[in-house]
Amino acid sequence: MRISIVIPAHNEAAFLKDCLDSISVQTYLPNEVIVVDDNSSDDTYTIAQNYAQTHDWIKVIQRSSADEHIPGKKVVDTFNFGLKHTSEYDLIGKFDADIVLPPDYFELIVNQFQANWKLGMCAGLLYIKKGNDWIYENIADKTHIRGPIKLYHKACFDKIGGLRPGVGWDTVDTLLAKFHDFETLTIPELQVKHLRPTGHGYSQKNYQIKGIAMYKMGYGLVITKIAALKMAWQAKNPILYFQIIIGFLKAFIQKQPKYVTKAEGKFIRNYRWKRIWSKI
C-alpha cells in the first residue's frame, strides 16, 4: 500500500530530528513524507532539508501564514497545503513533528488495512514521559485515534470530505468515518512517544473554542455539558466547564456554520448517547 505522510511543522527544531529518525528506520517505509514548514523562525526548515538531501522520499515545502496561533485551523490549513503536493496514495497520514514511532509502526498498520476492507482509520497510542517512565497520555479513551498520528485509508478520507479546519477536527473525523460505515482501530502495542504533551500553552480562550467545536460537531447542549464536566474534572479546574459552555452558547447565538449536516449531527448525538449510557 502506498503511504503519504504530511507533517505540518511550525518551530519544531527541537523535535523534528527525532521524528524523522524514527520514520527513516521503519520496517515498512512510507512512499513519501512531506514536511510543511509553516513560517518557522527556528531551524525547522534547515533540519528538514538536510533529511531531504539524504532521503529521496522526504520532501520539504514552505508555507507563509500568520504568526497567530489558531487552534485546530492553523494545523489543518498547513496539512491541506501539503496535501496538494502529495503523489498517488492508498493511505494518507497527518502526523505531528513531536512524535517518535516504534520501528514496525507502518508495517503493523498496513497489515490491519489489508486484512479489513472496512477499516477507515488506524493508529497506535500516545505516551508521554513522566520521570524515567513513558506513560499513556490519558486525555482520551484508548479507542480514540489521536490527532498527532492520524492515518486514513483514501476511501475513508475522501468520503468524510477531508479535515475540518478548526478545533475538533480530530474528533469529528472519527465520528464521520463511523457515519459512513467505516471502522476505526487503535493498536495498543504500537506505543508512540509524544515528546510534547497535549495542551501545552492552552488558555481559557482555547477552552471556549472547544465549546464552539462541540456546537459545530452537532453535540447539542446536554452532551456538551457532560463533555465539559469530564474535561473540567480531568483538568481539576471547574472554570473550564463554564468556558466550554460559554463557547458553545456563543456559537449557538451567532449561528456559526457547523462541520456536519443534519443527518450527520443526528448520528453523532445518537452515537455519543450510546457511549455515555455504556459507561453508566
- Confidence at residue 65, expressed as pLDDT on a 0 to 100 scale: 77
Pair 20, 51: CB distance under 8 Å: yes
The whole-angstrom separation of Cα 158 and Cα 121 is: 12
| pLDDT value at 203 more than 60 | no
Q: What would the pLDDT profile of 72-104 be if each residue is shown by its tens digit?
A: 789 999 999 999 999 999 999 999 999 999 999
| pLDDT value at 174 more than 80 | yes
- Confidence at residue 234, expressed as pLDDT on a 0 to 100 scale: 82
- Confidence at residue 67, expressed as pLDDT on a 0 to 100 scale: 64
Name the CATH topology of 3-194. Answer: Spore Coat Polysaccharide Biosynthesis Protein SpsA; Chain A (3.90.550)
Give 181: exposed, middle or buried? Use CB within 10 Å, 0-12, 13-18, 19+. Answer: exposed
Look over the chain and give the mean of its residue pLDDT values, rounded to a whole number: 93
How far, in Å, are 76, 173, 184, 187, 201 from residue 169 at the CA level? 8, 6, 15, 21, 19
Pair 127, 194: CB distance under 8 Å: yes
- Confidence at residue 220, expressed as pLDDT on a 0 to 100 scale: 95
Return the closest-CA partner of residue 96 out of 209, 203, 16, 201: 16
| pLDDT value at 258 more than 90 | yes
Residue 88 pairs with which residues in a beta bridge?
Answer: none
pTM score, two decimals?
0.92
Mean pLDDT of 161-169: 94
- Confidence at residue 70, expressed as pLDDT on a 0 to 100 scale: 67
Mean pLDDT of 255-263: 96
Radius of gyration of the chain from its Cα atoms, rounded to whole angstroms: 19
Helices (H), the chain: 16-24, 44-54, 73-83, 105-115, 154-159, 169-179, 204-216, 221-235, 239-254, 262-278
- Confidence at residue 31, expressed as pLDDT on a 0 to 100 scale: 98
Express as a percent the part of the chain with pLDDT over 90.
Answer: 84
**Residue 260: which pLDDT band, with cuts at 50, 70 and 90?**
very high
**One-letter amino acid for residue 33 of the chain:** V
Mean pLDDT of 154-182: 96
The whole-angstrom separation of Cα 178 and Cα 190 is: 23
Q: What would the pLDDT profile of 56-72 be if each residue is shown by its tens digit?
A: 999 999 998 766 666 77
**Which three cell numbers, joined as nine digits, stand for 36?**
510543511
Mean pLDDT of 159-163: 97
| pLDDT value at 139 more than 90 | no
